Chains A and B, each alone.
Chain A
Amino acid sequence: MAVTVRIPTQLRQLAAGAGELAIDGSTVGEVLKGLDAAHPGFGERLFDEAGQLRRFVNVFLAEEDVRFLEGLDTPVTDGQTLSIVPAVAGG
């Protein structure tokens, strides 16, 4: 199942400048790991040593913060959009 992953400006150099990529996976975690497999470098940016999302990384599935869902275990379905957004904004 492929979802569309939206890449923020700060990470586009890892994906040859692409703003969106189609990645396979059945959960948020699988998709993000698939992203790293396709374009090495994403993993160390997104995950800490314990394999959790870094403190300043927000991931939204269909506009919803995955921390309000099941985190990296949240199931994804074909055609959904997963957005990686820097947390440092607002206020």
Chain B
Amino acid sequence: MSISAVPFVDALRCRECGHRFPVEALHVCDRCFGPLEVSYDYEAVRANVSRASIAAGPQTIWRYAALLPANAAGAVSLGAGCTPLVRADRLAAELGLGELWVKNDTVNPTGSFKDRVVSVALSKARELGFKVAACPSTGNLANSVAAHAASAGMRSVVFIPADLEPAKIAATAVYGGTLVAVDGTYDDVNRLCAELTDDHPDWAFVNVNVRTYYAEGSKTLAFETAEQLGWVAPDHVVAPVASGSQLTKIAKGFRELYEVGLLDEAPAVRVSGAQAAGCSPVATAFAAGADAIRPVRPDTIAKSLAIGNPADGWYALDEVRRSGGAVESVTDDEIRDGITLLARTEGIFAETAGGVTIATLAKLAAAGVVRRDERVVAYVTGNGLKTLDAIADRVAPTATIEPTRAAFAAAFPAEL
């Protein structure tokens, strides 16, 4: 496979043992099975990138190409990124918080933050010569891979648990790729795909054999947040935890901005994680003070977070502990409350994962972990139209009436 150089990437490096590897389709260290990470020449980035050069870039994640592992020219992009960072004063008032912001990543091209990671993964996959895009997915990733592959003229082969929400199935199948529904949990699907990479080394499984590159896309959640706040890092962020990759990369993103001179002060961001009680292996380990994360069998309405054996769970736990954050979990009813609370206070309709984030934020605020004197950012990463069933028993017309003034007056005798 031909490899086109990316200016500022110097190698892949094992996060566990430090062994270095060439910039190829590798994701696991063959010595210790640890995850590989992209290593950048930060001095070169620092010399070539400024706040002004970023501001002159596109209104997508590719404005931060110097800290991404693929070339911006020729990137596979539907325009992900540069989503609103919304000042959430009404939600803050309900939760007793001060300066609260919501990163509204529900408005990405396919309705979730996955467009960021998929854009990076498939751009790199195409540079590496792959013609087929594949993934195991809890739904949002399926939507995004199928859509990006369609726009790039790549074949797609997407694997999902058969019991996914109907909207997520339709919003994948519509793009015309191959969609395989598997009788099993996401963890079963994930294991199957990890084995299929051995059988199909010419397929780019975005979150398996090109995961090293894919995961880097989540750093743009931190890059944008800092830029939108005027090139400062927040004091505390709350992010959902499924595999743990997104939270880990948000933390890395803030550190990198300082490393390359885009932040004046070293960031001291407290990082907190949000899980559903029905799938909370990382929250359980945090509460127990344990280092090992015991896999669980998920049972929650938050299917997009239903990963019982999180690949980056340990790293997420480490980021949370070192930064003085917390990992908390919330019940399915609290998740529904979180969705409706965010919608009625801020006009943002999130899917169940967003409900997990907001409900966890509420819980951490009530416990005094997230504080009133902190500048807080909550990451809301998927669109509510994808999980309508979750709130179907809570939302309905206020009244159903005949089309007459009398009927309206009868139904609403007082002011609304």
Q: Contact: A45 with B31, CB < 8 Å?
A: yes
- Is B34 an interface residue when CB atoms closer than 8 A count as contact? yes
**Contacts of A22 on B, CB cut-off 8 Å?**
none
- Is B126 an interface residue when CB atoms closer than 8 A count as contact? no
Q: Could you tell me the distance between the alpha carbons of A73 and B195 in the complex, rounded to whole angstroms?
A: 24
- The DSSP consensus for interface residues of chain A is mixed
CB < 8 Å: which of B33, B188, B193 contacts A10?
A: B33
**A90 touching B208 in the complex, CB below 8 Å, given contacts A9-B201, A54-B33, A56-B33:** yes
- Is A51 an interface residue when CB atoms closer than 8 A count as contact? no
- Is B387 an interface residue when CB atoms closer than 8 A count as contact? no
**Contacts of B246 on A, CB cut-off 8 Å?**
91
- Is B307 an interface residue when CB atoms closer than 8 A count as contact? yes
Shortest Cβ distance from A53 into B: residue: B33
Q: Contact: B31 with A88, CB < 8 Å?
A: no
Binds A, one of B78-86, B237-245, B362-370: B237-245
Q: Contact: A90 with B243, CB < 8 Å?
A: yes
Shortest Cβ distance from A8 into B: residue: B198
Shortest Cβ distance from A41 into B: residue: B31
Scoring A65, A67, A87, A90 by chain B CB atoms within 10 A of each residue's CB, the highest score goes to A90
**Contacts of B195 on A, CB cut-off 8 Å?**
6, 8, 83, 85
- Is B8 an interface residue when CB atoms closer than 8 A count as contact? no
Shortest Cβ distance from A83 into B: residue: B195
- Is A19 an interface residue when CB atoms closer than 8 A count as contact? yes
Scoring B136, B195, B211 by chain A CB atoms within 10 A of each residue's CB, the highest score goes to B195
- Is B295 an interface residue when CB atoms closer than 8 A count as contact? yes
**Contacts of B188 on A, CB cut-off 8 Å?**
63
- Is A40 an interface residue when CB atoms closer than 8 A count as contact? no
Scoring B27, B33, B193 by chain A CB atoms within 10 A of each residue's CB, the highest score goes to B33
Q: Could you tell me the distance between the alpha carbons of A11 and B27 in the complex, rounded to whole angstroms?
A: 13
Q: Contact: A89 with B190, CB < 8 Å?
A: yes
Q: Contact: B295 with A86, CB < 8 Å?
A: no
Per-position 1/0 for A55-91, Cβ under 8 A of B: 1111010010101100000000000000101111111
Q: Could you tell me the distance between the alpha carbons of A89 and B201 in the complex, rounded to whole angstroms?
A: 15
**A91 touching B191 in the complex, CB below 8 Å, given contacts A8-B198, A57-B33:** no
Binds A, one of B271-279, B309-317, B333-341, B352-360: B309-317
Q: Contact: B191 with A10, CB < 8 Å?
A: no
Q: Contact: B32 with A11, CB < 8 Å?
A: no
CB < 8 Å: which of B33, B197, B208 contacts A45?
A: B33
Q: Contact: B33 with A60, CB < 8 Å?
A: no
Q: Could you tell me the distance between the alpha carbons of A32 and B310 in the complex, rounded to whole angstroms?
A: 24
CB < 8 Å: which of A6, A9, A85, A90 contacts B307?
A: A90
Scoring A10, A11, A67 by chain B CB atoms within 10 A of each residue's CB, the highest score goes to A10
Q: Could you tell me the distance between the alpha carbons of A3 and B190 in the complex, rounded to whole angstroms?
A: 23
Q: Could you tell me the distance between the alpha carbons of A58 and B194 in the complex, rounded to whole angstroms?
A: 11
Q: Contact: A89 with B193, CB < 8 Å?
A: yes
Closest CB-CB distance, A38 to chain B, in whole Å?
A: 19
Q: Contact: A89 with B33, CB < 8 Å?
A: no
CB < 8 Å: which of B28, B187, B245 contacts A56?
A: B28
**A68 touching B207 in the complex, CB below 8 Å, given contacts A6-B195, A91-B242:** no
**Contacts of A63 on B, CB cut-off 8 Å?**
188, 191
- Is B325 an interface residue when CB atoms closer than 8 A count as contact? no
Q: Contact: A86 with B31, CB < 8 Å?
A: no
Q: Contact: A88 with B32, CB < 8 Å?
A: no
Residue numbers of A with Cβ under 8 A of B are: 6, 8-11, 13, 19, 45, 54-58, 60, 63, 65, 67-68, 83, 85-91
16 new A-B contacts, CB < 8 A, other than A8-B194, A90-B186, are A6-B195, A8-B195, A8-B198, A9-B201, A13-B30, A19-B198, A45-B33, A54-B33, A56-B32, A56-B33, A65-B309, A68-B297, A87-B311, A89-B208, A91-B207, A91-B243
